[in-house]
Structure 1
Amino acid sequence: MKTVKELQELKLDAYYFVLHISIDNAASGHAAMAMEAAVEYIEQMQKAQGDVAALQAWKRVQAGFILAEGLPTTPESPSLVRHVEPPFPRTDFEAAVVEVFIRKAAVAHKIHCNSVLKIGRRTLIEWLEPTAFKETKWQMEFLHDLGSCKPWVIKGNSGKSRLTRELAWEGKMFGSFTQTEVEVVKRWIDSLGNPDFDPHLYWSYTGRKEITSKQRLGRKQDVRFETEGPGVAGMDEVRRTDAVGLVELGLEMVRNARLSEPKDLKEALEGRDEAFAITMLHLAMRPMQNGPLLFGLSRAFVELHEAVAGSDLLSPTNRTVLQQIARRERESLKICLEELKGDEKRFAESCNGYTLGKAEIARCFSSR
């Protein structure tokens, strides 16, 4: 009706909206049809599955109505409201960040003995007491107080939060959290930007079994790496489920060739020309001094990786893995190459490394 009045004030024909108000009336129009459909659905649920299922269906209808209208509360009589203890963790973000701090509490407790930092109702050393931190109520209070502790946490903005800055490069706590753990903390902080949103409310209200985002997506939540980030991998590498690197790929080629697998690097080099391998190891021990030369060698080996990835020496799956490794290597080396071009001497050293690597690779294949 508000739209109709506004159009009339502007001397515009409001008949279209007046007609819709009539057609959508709750007695015989679209609204009545929708109401009838909802009633029939609930009655069918009652006949087929009983009163409990019918009540659940009715609550789902109510939840849908609230979603459509954008109302903050349910259209339920206050006398029927059940006060239920809120579940914890309430979100996947909370569950993930709690797991991170449980692991840290066991080893970080004594490290912070001299810390005077107070987070809400307790000091940091008190919060990190390992036995206490195992309690759900303790965890809930910790996240509540930490989430409200400015400037360490700025709700909804991990970029401005001091906690994430201290966990990043040049921060006082850099390296104490792995890159994946830092991302978990960031996602949790960013999720705090909408405190009124509780994804568990729908499930608790309707009485349905909750389906997590992991189950909805049907994905196994593994630690996976597509590209290297600025953080520290640490235990992330141990927890990886896709840990297929150059060593694993090399061992597969050994097995495909029906050769015995070497137990260590020494055994892998036995009976072969060890001089070049030893030279590379010595160069790698002084990466800053020999950087350009090592860079050139890396360029040569990237081409080898690309060639092997296009052959039948590996299974189709691992050929794809090697292609991805080579692509990431190529992209990273391209950035380094652009920087080296500005220094004639260092660029020449990298070219020497590239020539040396290419010659050694060619020699290895020609001697077989």
Structure 2
Amino acid sequence: MSVQFDLIIKDRRVTFSVILVLICICPFTFLYFKSLKPPTNHEKCNTLATPERERFKRSRYFKSTAEWTSTKELEFYKELYFKLQNLEEHSDTLPTARRAFETLLSQALEDSAKVSGGNLLSIKHFDKKKLAHFLQSEQDDVTNQYHGYITRRRAGGAREILKDRQAAGDWLREIAPVKLVDGAWLGHLNTIKMPFSLRQIVKQTWQVFTEELGNGNSDQHHVKIFEDLLETFEPDLPAPTTKAILHPRYRLGSLKYWRAAVAQLLVSLFPQDFLPEILGFNMHFEALQLDTLQAAKELPEVGLNPSYFLLHISIDNSHSGHAAMAMEVVSDYIEHVAKTEGEAAAEVAWKRVQAGYVFSEWQFQKGNQVTNILDHLNDDSHDRLESKVLAIFGSKIQAAHRLHCGSRVKIGKRSLADWLDPEAFSSEEWQRDFIRCLSVCEPWIYQGDSQRSKLVREIQWGGRMYGSFTKSELEALELWINSLGSDRTPFYCSFIQPTASPATQQPNRSDTDSPDHFEIISGSENLQTADLPLHGTPTKCPGDLTTNLNLPILLPLWFTQCCLFESFLYAPGRTSDKIGCAVIRFLRAQSGFETEDLLVTGTDEPSITENGGIVEFGLEIILRASLPVPQDLQGLLSLWPSEFAAKMLALSSSPNRNFGTLLGISMAFLELQELVSEYSISGLLCPKSSERLASLVRRQYQCLQVCLQEIPAGDSRRVDFHHGYKLAKKEVERCSNTKV
């Protein structure tokens, strides 16, 4: 029975239950007396364990943070993997791709420089014998490890990378991202925009690339062979160029291999700027690897086809295969630079080759460790300054137009007047090239030191550009220059600087010296006959020969036609079908390669460098006609401008979207090649070149016919084909007074 009592609060009677009050008081009383009791042994243990629990919580936090960072980086590489194989739809990713490449390249160099000896960086100055010895030592190390592996296996040891068939599937999935872009590190290399003097060096390397693509034979296509192997475990695997392949359901790869795959796609993306790095990367990537040897041994033991790995053991051999070709190309390139630009330039070129080699090597040494690439890419402070500087220069273009035409100052390979041409400067690509070349143009710019930079001093009082820039504009320039040394691949930039030695030291120049000769490493200003891969000393063609040919119209079309399908191959996974293989054979014919054989071409076969292609025939025409020889396509189009040549270059940047149109243009230009071959009877080309050109025309025609036959009736590409053919046909007819 409960006890109640009443209270009167402000004239109101309130009734309380004693039981209710006791219920409220009891818990507090219990807690109070419990606090007075000494702790039990169990409670003492928990009290003492508190720091350990906190450390455990922190370790779990850091582990989860590391996993989160790793996941973010993995997703970044996956997205970049897709976009770099679909650049037509994602051209806006190029600035990010360039920064990613430069950041990873610098980190690879910095990590490798910490290792004392034992790597390629130990060869301070290029020496072919030392390089050959180093590469042989690297191979000996691999083969010695393989010998030890075979010894263990013969003694009853277990398989070391493929425990069973399921483990084999897991391993093949892990490495898949790299194998599905096999060859991509050379995918952007063979472009018509490369300097003509480098054609033969690039051609040797491009031979390696087309062999990675089976030389236009689907059965020998490396990506196709790996896809067939992987199909055992993933029968519905999407094409490597699609976004579907990124889905986690396919369980493809780890951070290590996604990063390595993206590295392949990045390294050849800017061939005009990073050719030595590409050659160095190629030299390491084509070297023999231990896991390749082990996989070739263990795959048959679990009932799988080892063809992909056996192929890379044989085709990459160091006697006449890709490894040997890669070393020869590096040697030829360094010798070329030394001959045309001097020993100091050759020293820088060698360091850049080393950087490319280290970059390839580092991809696999780094393993699954995360890098700081996302921090670098997210830090856009430098990009904002760069954009502001470009806006400053852009705003002054019209006011300064033609005022610098008397200046001989060079920034990179162009004069200041050329850089500041209003029409050219409207291009974003032109602006990127300008700011990049300006940022390394000493003494005008010393990275990280605006007060030492001549550009800043010339803008201030007493300088020749005083009054041209406002105070706020000068401050922006200074901030930009000071930012160059801090967050823009500092290690790479410092690494490739030439060292001061009697053989390579440049003459000292004071700040008051004439700036006319300041120039970044560049090629010769004009090609000489000896630099061209012709079949003999060209003789001048008869004076009346060109009366029926309009060479100023013909020449820009002749050279530019080589651009039409050159971008079609940069994603190897898109080139294994009939159309892709036909395009490969078409481009090989244009480059002057022999008819494809089931056997590969080795270093002992002179056909790679001796047989000319479309570009070489064009240079022969120029020399025989006693015309000025341009250094590259840009120089040629400056001499002989052509709206249709510019149109072809624009169309070729989207080879998949414009495939039908490009096919039609290419077919029409075969008629131009026939025209030149026929006129060569009178001396436009030597007889051997004329005969060879006629042969190449027939091979190209066969390849284009295959492409056309693969396009079904009603496909819009057939309509585009006829449109492209009619457009080009009109241009071809303009080259001659007689209609074709």
Query: Which interval holds the TM-score relative to the shorter structure?
Result: 0.3 to 0.5
Larger Rg computed on CA atoms: 2
TM-score, L = length of structure 1: 0.41
TM-score, L = length of structure 2: 0.22
Higher relative contact order structure (alpha carbons within 8 Å, sequence separation ≥ 6): 2
